Structure 1
């Protein structure tokens, strides 16, 4: 069995206001995944693009500054039966890839 097949695979979607912050977080999470031998496919988008990208994702993680949009975001995400959560303000501010990856794994029950 190849190294690639032994790795776990996860498809994550990060959502923030403009997509810029989540791009940095996505890079840090991908790096943390590599260190943990988890193959992480990560996309970072703005909340206005959510409906175009949510299908097929394992988890959606959202920037804490978008908490005020929770009901409208949940309405979109729930249509695709994808679990989601908000990144803690602390992890978001630190762009802590390891903690955010751990959050995604917890949501998936892994």
Structure 2
């Protein structure tokens, strides 16, 4: 009985985690494919990107970009120019000799960031 409960709890946890948006975390640091990344482009400038999944809202993704910009510039102020976009992904699956192609669009955003006083 306890073993069945533990297995059910594990299955429920996996299902719930599979149905959630990409969390605010560096790209590649979680089990999800997306996340934020940044590149220093100058003395006080950065390019910040966040890639979401089908469970993230565009507004949330843009907020994550701004949050990362503020972290990079602290204690200075981050001036951002956020550009939302849809990241397109195509998946190919072969089942019983039949090829299935699916296309997905995920909310994402990038920003040019300038740290100012």
- TM-score, length-scaled by structure 2: 0.28
Bigger helix share:
1
- TM-score, length-scaled by structure 1: 0.29
Question: Which structure is higher in RCO with an 8 Å CA cutoff and minimum separation 6?
Answer: 1
Bigger strand share:
2
